[in-house]
Amino acid sequence: MAGIHAATYGSQNLPEFAEMMGAADGPHRVEPATIRIEDLNSPLTKGFAGKESFAYTDEYYHFLPTGPYSREKLHVLISIDAGKSDMSRWKVRPDNDYGLVWIKNYGKGRVFNSAMGHMPSFFATPELAQLVLGGIQFVLGDLDADATPSGDLATIKK
pLDDT score at 92: 81
Question: From the centroid of its chain, how far is CA 64?
Answer: 14
pLDDT score at 154: 56
Q: Which domains does the chain have, with CATH numbers?
A: 2-157 (3.40.50.880)
> Would you say the C-alpha torsion 151, 1, 66, 115 has a positive or negative sign?
positive
Q: Terminal CA-to-CA distance of the chain, rounded, Å? A: 32
Query: What does the pLDDT average to over 90-110?
Result: 92
Q: What sections of 1-125 are H helices per DSSP?
A: 15-21, 121-124
The one-character DSSP state at 36 is E
pLDDT score at 122: 94
pLDDT score at 156: 42
Q: For the full predicted model, state whether its pTM sits above 0.85.
A: yes
**pLDDT tens for residues 119-147?**
999 999 999 999 999 999 999 999 999 99
Query: Model confidence at 157, in pLDDT bands (50, 70, 90)?
Result: very low
Burial (Cβ within 10 Å: 0-12, 13-18, ≥19) of residue 130: middle
143 dihedral zone (left: phi>0; alpha: psi -120 to 50; beta): beta
Percent of residues, the chain, with pLDDT higher than 70: 95
